[in-house]
Structure 1
Amino acid sequence: MSEETLADTIHSDFHLNIQTMNNTFSNIHDFKTRVFEIKERKIGITYIDSITNKDIVNGRIVNEIYKLDYKDSIVDIPVANISVTDNFKKIYSGIMDGKVAIFEGNSNIAFLVDTGLFETRSIREPDSEKIVSGSHDGFVESLNKNINILRNRIRTPNLKSEILSVGGGDITTNVSILFLENIANQDVVNLVRKRISSINLENNLTPGKLEEFIEDNSFSPFPQILETERPDRVTANLMDGRIAVLVEGSATVSILPVTFFSFYQSPDDYNTRFILGSFLRIIRLLGFFISISLPSIYIAIVSFHYEVLPYELVTNIKSSLEYVPYPPVVEALIMQLTLELLREAAIRLPTSMAQTVAIVGGLVIGTAIVEANLVSNTMIIVIAITAISSFTVPIHEMSSSIRLLSFPMIFAAALLGLVGIVVGFMFLMIHLVKLESFGAPYFAPLGPIRFSDLKDTIIRVPYWKMKTRPSTAKPINEKQSTGKKGWAEDGE
């Protein structure tokens, strides 16, 4: 046994154990040590006062310690969660999690009692993922409370939850992996577990950092892990055989593996009639193409291919461009960058001020920039439609990605016109088809074609017609419906 391992082992010397704890947590003002001598029996408790529940410490631990007989064990204390350890590192980690460590004289083991008291905000609907109908709750920053929310929705012992301590050195973060054992593919679960366990980061782990460590291609502009704060979205994906990853201290849950089309699906699609849900989904996907291509198409037509437009429209566009001193590509870049600045300012400012900035930016600056002949009226309309289209995406990260992709398309159109746009879309489609998310094709079921999964992609069929789960998650139990209405099977 190495010296480091010996140093981490609890001693049989009671006073030495207490001294070790005091030395480790020195200069921590809220670290408390209390020593009791009851019936010739020495017992000591150590904890951090600010993150422990004082009612449990005083009512359930201290009072019960005074009632212990000489032959009684510490594990007889009536608390919900008590564990035994002989390692100081586990005690240090437990203390920082809000637990109470109990030492006993002439014993080389210690007891950890869960008394954590971490303040969290109340449950409410996420501001960035609002829906019209359905549940209106969201995750919070407590890992246990988030797991509780999901277990309240999926009440089955098949919902498995694993806790991994991720990080390096003394700083670790608890990460939970949730999946349905009777549906999820164990090979995918093992792959996720392996990638998360390999993270060695001496820093606080967040879902964003986790995503960069475990995703297949960190240099792709497209997110390969879906991050959400909605429990109903996580529940639906768990039922499809996917895996949810929760990080302590964050209200964002990561879902994997996912496809490109997963980012364009909303709980509203399933809370409304399938015809309306399909229509809304088509609108969102149409918004993807508009956001990426509309400014570049305008630049290509005005700069190279104006003959494709009717004569009357060419006259109107030419009159709006007559006094603008630079080419359309510069116009587009000015307006796109201005829009991003306004959007970033609106996010960072308080709500009341953000509304003022939006009004000033949209009306005052927009009107002034046209009157000053810095940008044409037509370009204002193009950029406005582009911005509105990008905001139709239900997931914020995908919305940001497609706005970013509009810039290289603008440069391609400025260089080669419509040919540049075609070449740009070719590279984009090739990248989407090659991309993977934990072994699942990112552009499935269109690349490769999977006809059985088309029922819930661009459109969705009635839910009772969805006989199988999506194959991209590789579920071990694919069947989820008979494909018929149960009450109509007898011909009623």
Structure 2
Amino acid sequence: MLLRKLLRKRFRKQKIQQQITKQQDLLSSNLDDNLRVLRSVYQDCFDVVFRTFLIAGKTKAVLIYIEGLSKIEEINDNILAPLTADTEGNEGSSFETLKEKIHISKIQEIQTVTDCLGNISNGNPILLMQQEERGFALGLANWDKRQIEEPTAESVVRGPREGFIETLGVNTSLIRRKIKSPNLKMKSMKIGRYTNTDVVIAYIEGLVDQALIEEVKNRLQRIEIDSVLESGYIEEMIEDNPYSPFPQLINTERPDVAAANLLEGRVAILIDGTPFVLIAPVTFFSLLQSSEDYYQRSLISSSIRLLRFLFMAVSLILPSLYVAVLTYHQEMVPTALLISVAASRESVPFPALVEALLMEITFEALREAGVRLPKQIGSAVSIVGALVIGQAAVQAGLVSAPMVMVVAITGIASFMMPHYTQGMTLRMLRFPMIFLAGMFGLLGIMLGIIIIVIHLCSLRSFGTPYLSPYAPMKYRELKDTLIRAPWWKMNTRPHLTGDFNKYRQGPMQKPGSNRGNKQ
């Protein structure tokens, strides 16, 4: 009973404090009081402008904006000029008729100090009047933005050449250009106590499971953080298994990739200030699919996709296979090749395990150096550095020539991954696989593969099995995994979250199916 009474008192106090805070947040009818509050908030902020003037020479008003974030010319021409003009009568000071004099398209009525601060920070000027407990937020934000360019990390031979930029409004419009349907919904929220970053959840109503929308929204609303400067902040906060090396969300810079995933029943998360859009849920096989797979003919796309899966395995196990065979299973190598490898390793003082680790670490360091160096010299330094260091290491007897070939082939294989995060995962898993091969041989490689498969089977992305559609088996969706069936054969939508609107095209799409009807 005592505990119940204490909880009731605490609840009442919190409710009273919330009411007091809400009342203090409301704008006052006294313009000087509102100015006093806002000036105290923006103390020592030289770029915040408080422009006081008289509306129609009668009513005192103030315009508040941040220099550099608002369109100054439009403020002068469409707000200050018409409002300060002398007019007969008192209708100029009426709040209801004020909208007719402001010659801009976007005007929002606000009633709290919090709304004022939010709009000012977003670049929207605030107009407050004497004897009014409300004001106007004027849509005159002036954000400098980068030109729309082709993404460098997701370039294609055939396909659209446009990519997302750092401005949220431009990114949402790029998706709207792809999907011209009112069923494309976009819900907005703000995350970050200091940055107040705009985050948008995009989905297609009628294709997506509403339980997925609620789950994404709940995970985003639970985030309490000072700042969100990039999509990576949110990705780590909402993924199912944060300790897994495998990515559980796709990040993309391409509007066509985002639109294609939305049409498959997924959800896109757009964050202001970054060109990378998050997509959920994902599977292991979707991370190995490129947007160009759907623009080329099915035979070409399937061949390239199978090649991609092959080199994914090469990237993961080739160095460890080399170490295992040379250390424990020499009888598996043809005699002539074994003699040649033994001759090249004759002057190498290190065992195969140390040799592989030395070359792999050096190659990863060169690759990261090439990424961080300026673009003009980065590629040249990485290529020349790899050639010079590899040749010098072989001549010095530190590594053998076959090991250099193995590392080079492994590096090329890792570059075939369409998503950078998946390639990083394979690069990270390569080292424990080398250690297992050096300790247990081929048995260690099989043990590592079994551990990885078990982990993948237990992994989920927003409740979706990571190895779907193979575990659990869904025969209807196998047409777009290892190979890509022709478009006329993919009548059903590969849903990951349920059977909502599962048919995306008619049954008679096969070329030549209507030829018998022609005269």
Map of 1:400 onto structure 2: 424
Deviation string, structure 1 residues 14-62 (Cα, Å, up to 9, x no partner) = 1111222222112222211111223421221100011001122112221
User: SS at 1:471's partner residue?
Assistant: coil
Deviation string, structure 1 residues 167-190 (Cα, Å, up to 9, x no partner) = 23x432110011111211111011
- Offset of residue 336 of structure 1: 0.8
Residue of structure 2 aligned with 1:49, choices 67, 71, 91: 67
How do residues 390-469 of structure 1 correspond to structure 2 at under 5 angstroms?
390-469=414-493
Greater Cα shift, 236-245 or 64-73: 64-73
Q: Is the 8 A contact 2:151 2:163 kept in 1?
A: yes
User: Is structure 2 residue 69 aligned with structure 1 residue 69?
Assistant: no
Matched letter for residue 376 of structure 2: S
Map of 2:242 onto structure 1: 218
Larger Rg: 2
Map of 2:8 onto structure 1: none
How do residues 55-204 of structure 1 correspond to structure 2 at under 5 angstroms?
55-66=73-84, 69-71=92-94, 72-76=96-100, 77-168=102-193, 170-204=194-228
How do residues 468-483 of structure 1 correspond to structure 2 at under 5 angstroms?
468-474=492-498, 476-483=500-507
User: SS at 1:128's partner residue?
Assistant: coil
Matched letter for residue 363 of structure 1: L
For 1:197 and 1:360, locate their aligned partners in 2 and report how far apart those are by CA, in whole Å: 49
Greater Cα shift, 482-491 or 471-480: 482-491
**Structure 1: runs of 5 or more not aligned:** none
Q: Is the 8 A contact 2:63 2:125 kept in 1?
A: yes
Cα gap change, 1:283 to 1:483, in 2 (>3 Å): farther
Q: Is the 8 A contact 2:120 2:126 kept in 1?
A: yes
For 1:198 and 1:318, locate their aligned partners in 2 and report how far apart those are by CA, in whole Å: 59
Aligned residues: CA RMSD: 1.4
For 2:495 and 2:264, locate their aligned partners in 1 and report how far apart those are by CA, in whole Å: 9
Matched letter for residue 158 of structure 1: N
For 2:39 and 2:93, locate their aligned partners in 1 and report how far apart those are by CA, in whole Å: 27
User: Is structure 2 residue 300 aligned with structure 1 residue 276?
Assistant: yes
For 1:55 and 1:456, locate their aligned partners in 2 and report how far apart those are by CA, in whole Å: 53
Q: Is the 8 A contact 1:167 1:205 kept in 2?
A: no
Residue of structure 2 aligned with 1:12, choices 29, 45, 49: 29
- Offset of residue 360 of structure 1: 2.5
Map of 1:311 onto structure 2: 335
How do residues 370-409 of structure 1 correspond to structure 2 at under 5 angstroms?
370-409=394-433
Matched letter for residue 27 of structure 1: D
Cα gap change, 1:482 to 1:336, in 2 (>3 Å): same
- Offset of residue 205 of structure 1: 3.9
Q: Is the 8 A contact 1:137 1:230 kept in 2?
A: yes
- Offset of residue 109 of structure 1: 1.1
Deviation string, structure 1 residues 362-412 (Cα, Å, up to 9, x no partner) = 211110000011011111011111100000011111111111110110011
Q: Is the 8 A contact 2:126 2:137 kept in 1?
A: yes
Map of 1:260 onto structure 2: 284
Q: Is the 8 A contact 1:258 1:473 kept in 2?
A: no
- Offset of residue 475 of structure 1: 5.2
Task: Using the aligned pairs only, state the percent identity.
Answer: 36
For 2:255 and 2:508, locate their aligned partners in 1 and report how far apart those are by CA, in whole Å: 28
Q: Is the 8 A contact 2:123 2:140 kept in 1?
A: yes
- Offset of residue 491 of structure 1: 4.7
**Structure 2: runs of 5 or more not aligned:** 1-15, 86-90
- Offset of residue 78 of structure 1: 3.1
Cα gap change, 1:323 to 1:316, in 2 (>3 Å): same
For 1:141 and 1:373, locate their aligned partners in 2 and report how far apart those are by CA, in whole Å: 49
TM-score, structure 2 as length reference: 0.92
Greater Cα shift, 351-360 or 116-125: 351-360
| Runs of 4+ more than 6 Å apart | none
For 1:329 and 1:233, locate their aligned partners in 2 and report how far apart those are by CA, in whole Å: 41
Q: Is the 8 A contact 1:122 1:140 kept in 2?
A: yes
TM-score, structure 1 as length reference: 0.97
- Offset of residue 483 of structure 1: 3.8
